[in-house]
Structure 1
Amino acid sequence: MRIKKSVSKNSVSYSVIDNVRDINGKSTTKVIEALGNEEQIREKYPGVDPEEWARAYAKELTEEKRPNQKLS
């Protein structure tokens, strides 16, 4: 999983997305969770850089999703 950073004129929003295959076998992305904008993340987690927190959260979700996979 990875983060999607949407930048607008007044705000920056973060979402967790994952690559999936549709019924025709084409690769696409699916929004797993909307994390909110920078201001909301700073309110919930004071003293944390929103982008770094979002990346760490996406990594945590990836590890939970694939606990038995090992790289050899």
Structure 2
Amino acid sequence: MTIQEKSRALMVRQHQQVKNRQQSMLMRAAQELGLPEEISHYWNPIQGKIDPTTQTLYSRSNAAMS
């Protein structure tokens, strides 16, 4: 696997993780508010790019559990 393939795979994996985290949080909020579960399937990236605010909120943090 070339470096370019590895970097692409890493970016795709991080993109999917951000999407999954956002949808999980939306599902929890929908359940708490009694809204339909379909609301948690919201995902609206523009041209496949994640909004920088969403990226910051739902990406991994630098904190680690000890």
Could you state the TM-score of these two structures normalised by the residue count of structure 2? 0.31
Could you state the TM-score of these two structures normalised by the residue count of structure 1? 0.28
Name whichever structure is richer in strand by fraction: 1
Greater RCO, 1 or 2 (C-alpha within 8 Å, sep 6+): 2
Name whichever structure is richer in helix by fraction: 2
